[in-house]
Chains A and B, each alone.
Chain A
Amino acid sequence: QAQLVQSGAEVKEPGASVKVSCRASGYSFTTYGLHWVRQAPGQGLEWMGWIRADSGNTQYSQKFQDRVTITRDRSASTTYMELSRLRSEDTAIYYCMRPRCTTCYADIDSWGQGTLVTVSS
């Protein structure tokens, strides 16, 4: 059973950057891609982007294209999401989620536990 464990809560000032990690276990890391999603307080889910763990190729939401960078470290079975130029509206829980099969993209079966990022001066 796939398990995704995310890094701990972060508090950042406006204008700073944050880097959240998602460590995978229970499956072959390089054979599955991974998505990043966020949820602002009391709001719905919002897709941010995707990375292929084998090639490192990425796909980003147009909304976050100029501020988000998703990378991976194959040796650590870990994926990272970095969001720059933070503003108060970026306060949210950030999740990683994994497709259910190696050739899948949108069919999801596993989620990380979430990482709360608070942006405040």
Chain B
Amino acid sequence: QTAVTQEPSLTVSPGGTVTLTCASSTGTVTSSYYPNWFQQRPGQAPRALIYDTSNKHSWTPARFSGSLLGGKAALTLSGVQPEDEADYHCLLYYGGAVIFGGGTKLTVL
């Protein structure tokens, strides 16, 4: 059974930079997996941040960027703000099926 893996938790200082990754058990993640990234604050529905690897929605802050890195999809936050503390979920496309990673809890401390 295919699995998508994210770091369970990461901690970053305000103003710092952090990279979250999203790996596939099938091997290298490419743009054909249409990686998406979502932010979810406690008690709220997820909010879309990045689609198709690196494209931002109109509401996505400039400090968020998506890429492919070392065979994985990656979300980089540069100049982290306190309000970036949240859970981050990635999504990968597998030809008709969609699989989410387990999520990364990002702490800003």
Q: Flag the segment in B12-20, B78-86, B94-102 that touches A.
A: B94-102
Tally of contacts, chain A with chain B, CB under 8 A: 61
CB <8 Å contact, A107 and B47:
no
Q: Which residues on the B side are within 8 Å of A112 (C-beta)?
A: 45
CB <8 Å contact, A108 and B47:
no
- Main SS class of interface, A: strand
**Is A72 part of the binding interface, using a Cβ–Cβ cutoff of 8 Å?**
no
CB <8 Å contact, A44 and B100:
yes
Q: How large is the interface on A (under 10, 10 to 19, 20 to 34, 35 or more residues)?
A: 20 to 34
Contacts from A to B (Cβ < 8 Å): 35, 37, 44-47, 50, 59, 61-62, 95, 97, 100, 105-114
Q: Using A45-B91, A47-B98, A111-B46 as known contacts, list a sample of 11 further A-B pairs with CB atoms less than 8 Å apart, ordered by residue number in A.
A: A44-B89, A44-B101, A45-B38, A45-B103, A46-B100, A47-B100, A100-B57, A105-B93, A105-B96, A107-B52, A108-B38
